[in-house]
Every structure is written in structure tokens, then in C-alpha cells.
Amino acid sequence: MATKRTKAQVSSTPSSHPLPSKTSLRRFFTEKQETDMRSKMAVAEKSPASSAPVSPAPSESSTEGTDIKSILTQLPSKLDLEAMFSKMERSFGDKLQSLHEEVSHIGNRVQLLEEGGETIALQIHNMQTLQQTQNEALIFLQRKIEDLDNRGRRNNLRIRGIPEAPVGTNENITQTLTNLFNQLLGRPVDTPIKRDRAHRAIRPKVLANESPRDIICRIHHFPIKETILQKAKQIRDITFSDRKVQIFQDLAQSTLIARRALRPITKALSDRNIRFRWAYPFALVVNRQGKTHSISTPADVLMFQQALGIPTDVVEDWTGLYMEQDRQLSQKAKWQRSPRKRGRRAPSGNELPTTQKGNATRPTK
């Protein structure tokens, strides 16, 4: 038939799927495989009629199998893994045991520190309580001493303003005070007033242009002293020998410091026409609307101000003030005794020689 192709036509007709060339296939082989293939082709070309089989070259799969076997043989066995894990477990156990001991040691130290802190806190609390108790006892003793000091001055008067005698002359304080007191009492100038002692304040003598030192006088009879003090309060301006004179109750230094510290409160009371008085032992007392309000220690100041409705001014702690003053006085230079000459004075012609015991020896006849 015309439609049928002959074998020659089929072979001469180009195929629709051409075979790949050598160049396109070369990229699928390695250099070694390509060299082996060339050698095989050369042998085949030299002996085409030979039908002896050629041993094939080891393929890539066989090489990979060998490598895998060698790798598998090098892997650790179960015993090796168990030994390794046992060693790691012992190492971790030792480290954990050491860490546990350190943590326990630190915990013990922390516990000791906490117990020590609690003990120290308790001791501090006890010391603070003891200090507060001692402070209260100290203030109580100071008030007692102050009261004793003021009671010892009950008959004392302090006179300020009487001029001092010129340097080199003696002043007659007794006669001056007798004339002053009789003038206040409205009695004859020569009326005797019994006094135990009278002297100037113990401090260096002042110069001519300075204020004279106060005179401290102790009246023997307390009623006469009180009468003189009341007369001095009634007569605001006392004039004696053309000089203004003031008469006060002689008080302890600590009492004067306390009164000076309470001056803002006394000024506020005077501005509001609130009467007050000083009490012994030291206290500032106000009687108002049937109630008594007083200040005896610095802790009473705030309650006193609030009760009377006066400004709550800050009042300085006077106990610390006179303690500081006493400390400063104690640090001043003390009296020093001049050293005595230890050398023995040579006896004069009228003196008898003495023995080693100091007894005079009579000359033998």
C-alpha cells in the first residue's frame, strides 16, 4: 500500500525525539566516571569481536553503602552510651551535691544573720527604752537639784543698778543696802536690817563705762525679804542716789535659762491679758476657767499652747541649754596652784637650826 512506509524510509526519516549528544550527557558523570567510560570505549573499539564480559566499575551506590557502614561501625554502642551517661550523671551529682552544700551553708548564715538582726533590734529597743527612762530620771534629778538651789536662795535678793566704787576705794555695801531697803519700806534710814551677807556678783570688775555688777544680798528674816520684794514690784521705777535700781528674786542659773526660753509664751500670755505665775519647783502656771495649766518640762509646751489658744511657737529645749552651758563652764581653765619651791631656806641668824624631823635643837650648855 501507498500509505505504508518501507524500512528504508523509516530509517531515513528523522526522529521526532533525537538522542542526546555526548556533550549533553557529560554533565551527569564525574571526572573519574568519565575517564573510566573512555577507557572502556577504547577497549571495545580495539576488540569489537571479543565477547568476554568486562567487570563493571563500582557504582556510586556501592561507595555510599561502604561509607555508611564505616560510619555505623564508628557510632558508640549502647554500652558506650550508658557509660557516658553514667559518668555525666556522677559529675552532675557531685556538682549538685556541692551546690546543695553551698546553698545550705548560705542558708545557715542567712538564718544566723536574721537571728542576730532580731537580737540587735531587740537590744536597740531595750537601749532606747532604757535611755528614755534615764532621760526622765535625769530630768527629775535636775529639777530636784534646781529646786534645792532655789530653796537655798529663798532669802536672797539681787539688786541691779547700784554703781560700784571707784578703783582703789572700798564701798560700804551694807550701809548702801540698809538705806535702800528702809527707803522702800518707808522707815527711818538708820533702822537696822539684819543681813547674813552681801556681795557683788562673782565676775571680773567692770570698767567705768560699763554696767555695774549686781549685788546679791541674803536677808536673815524671810518675811522682811518678801516685804522688800513686794514693795519693789509695786514701785515700778525705783530711784536711789539718782540711779534707777531694780530688785529681783535671786534664782538658780537653770531657772533663769528656762524663763528666758519661755519668753515667747509669757509675751503671748501678756498680750492676751492672761495672768500667769512662776511656781517652785520650776513651773509656769495659768489658772483659767477653773482649770490649771502648767509647763514644767519642754514636753508640756505644745499641750499648754493648744489649751490656751496661743500661737504654737517653737520653744527651745532649756534642759539642753543649761547642760551645754555647764559643759562650757567645766571646760574653762581651772585655778592652778603655783608650784612650791622645794629648796630649803637657809636659817637666819635669829632662827635655831632644826633637825631632820623639823624640831628645833637647843644649844647645849
pLDDT of residue 357 exceeding 60, the answer is no
Boundary-marking domain end, from 150, 182, 203? 150
Does residue 208 share a domain with residue 144? Answer: no
Boundary-marking domain end, from 210, 235, 250? 250
Which range marks the domain in which residue 308 is found? 252-324
In a domain, 214, yes or no: yes
Contact 317, 299 (CB under 8 A): no
pLDDT digits (tens, 9 = 90+) for 288-314: 988 999 999 888 999 999 999 888 878
For the record, the C-alpha cell of 85 comes out as: 551517661
pLDDT of residue 155 exceeding 90, the answer is yes
pLDDT of residue 1 exceeding 50, the answer is no
pLDDT of residue 47 exceeding 70, the answer is no
In a domain, 46, yes or no: no
Contact 181, 193 (CB under 8 A): yes
User: Which pTM does this prediction carry?
Assistant: 0.57
Does residue 238 share a domain with residue 199? Answer: yes
Task: Return the CATH number at 242.
Answer: 3.30.70.1820
Q: What's the pLDDT at 341?
A: 52
Q: What's the pLDDT at 5?
A: 47
pLDDT digits (tens, 9 = 90+) for 79-115: 888 888 888 888 888 888 889 899 999 999 999 999 9
The Cα–Cα gap between 143 and 151 comes to 12
Does residue 244 share a domain with residue 158? Answer: yes
Does residue 230 share a domain with residue 164? Answer: yes
Q: In Å, how far from its chain's centre is CA 220?
A: 53
Does residue 243 share a domain with residue 261? Answer: no
Does residue 121 share a domain with residue 181? Answer: no
Strand extents, DSSP E, 72-188? 156-160
Does residue 158 share a domain with residue 94? Answer: no
Closest by CA position to 288, among listed 269, 271, 313, 301:
269
In a domain, 299, yes or no: yes
What rounded mean pLDDT belongs to the chain?
A: 78
In a domain, 19, yes or no: no
Classify residue 162 as exposed, middle or buried by CB count within 10 Å of its CB (0-12, 13-18, 19+): buried
In this prediction, residues 173-186 reach a mean pLDDT of 91
Q: What's the pLDDT at 209?
A: 74
Does residue 240 share a domain with residue 201? Answer: yes
Helix (H) or strand (E) holding 295: strand 291-295
Does residue 266 share a domain with residue 221? Answer: no
pLDDT digits (tens, 9 = 90+) for 207-257: 767 788 999 999 999 999 999 999 998 887 888 888 899 999 999 988 999
The Cα–Cα gap between 90 and 96 comes to 10
Does residue 177 share a domain with residue 218? Answer: yes
Closest by CA position to 253, among listed 156, 158, 150, 161:
150
For the record, the C-alpha cell of 18 comes out as: 533525537
In a domain, 99, yes or no: yes
**Angle (nearest 5°) at CA 145 between 336 and 155:** 90
Boundary-marking domain end, from 108, 131, 150? 150
For the record, the C-alpha cell of 253 comes out as: 542659773
Q: In Å, how far from its chain's centre is CA 224?
A: 55
Does residue 130 share a domain with residue 116? Answer: yes
Contact 266, 276 (CB under 8 A): yes
Q: What's the pLDDT at 21?
A: 46
In a domain, 126, yes or no: yes
Does residue 232 share a domain with residue 266? Answer: no
In a domain, 141, yes or no: yes
Contact 265, 310 (CB under 8 A): yes
In a domain, 110, yes or no: yes
Q: In one letter, which amino acid is 5?
A: R
Quote the number of domains for the chain: 3
pLDDT digits (tens, 9 = 90+) for 105-143: 999 999 999 999 999 999 999 999 999 999 889 888 988
